[in-house]
Amino acid sequence: MDGILNIYKEAGWTSNDVVQKLRGILKTKKVGHGGTLDPAVTGVLPVAVGKATRLLEYMDAGGKIYEGEVTLGFSTETEDAEGIVVESKIVSKSLTEADVDEAMETFVGWIKQVPPMYSAVKVNGKKLYEYARAGQVIERVPREIEIKSFERLSPLTFDGDIGKFKFRVSCSKGTYIRTLAVDLGAKLTYPSHMSMLQRTMANGLRIETASTLKQIEESRDQGKLNEVFLDLNFAVTDLPHISLNQAQYEDIKNGKKIEFENIIEIGQPLAVYYNEKLVGICHQGEQQLKPKKILI
């Protein structure tokens, strides 16, 4: 059983919870996910099964699309709706949608983002959330991320002392949407947090075709798992692809480097095919390809 599942992760589940549940449903230990979602976040969770687990690192290589909500007026220690309020400020009704749109536009492109304290990023061998739970704030190195688009989806509305609006963001891996919401609020001079989030696309998989765990169980019981499994190609959607001739295929299959002139980017992975079938992943060198993970 090899392939990709487009799972709809429901609120309250960790990404690892989903993997453990699927191991039981599918009766296999070779299950892993591509791209962690926080428990409160819903939406697309790409899951690899069998041989596809060898491609997990590439499943998280491409961009993702999220839709959510920013609440202006107070911030929380976790930067989302789950945390304790740490700062508040009355949002002025003079704030306009044009102000919000202009501020959002400044985040589009390659930017630096400081990982939140409540995250799994490791510093000196410990995860940041471990420091946070102990009441410690650790200096963090900013990371470069790409915001491909960031747009407001709903009117800016006011409810007492706070303001809210929905958004859509297309971004690179490693982006913390919670932090983006906080940084946007700071740009508008207000404490803020991400009050809701859903991932609508990841690795070419869209929320419209995602299956719940219950639906996967039903497909198993009806003998229709083949209808929900996607082939290995979906694990490398975001990688450049090339086709091999027979001689190149034989060498790559046997773990040999091959000469290759049309290098796209040295050091970067490339999905290689033979007769339209995925052979594996090669890394690009100086006019050569080096086998990295062969699936044949």
Contact 155, 165 (CB under 8 A): yes
Residue 284 CB contacts under 8 Å (≥ 6 apart), including other chains: 260, 263, 264, 265, 266, 267, 268, 269, 270
Strand partners, 126: 123
Q: Pick the closest to residue 43 from 82, 5, 6 (CA basis).
A: 6
Using an 8 Å Cβ cutoff, are 219 and 225 in contact? yes
Helix (H) or strand (E) run with residue 105 in it: helix 97-105
**Calculated CA dihedral for residues 90, 39, 53, 124, nearest 10 degrees:** 70
User: Annotated active-site positions, please?
Assistant: 38
Q: Which amino acid is at 32?
A: G
Closest by CA to 267, choosing from 251, 245, 290, 244, is 290
Q: How many Å apart are CA 235 and CA 63, to the nearest integer? A: 13
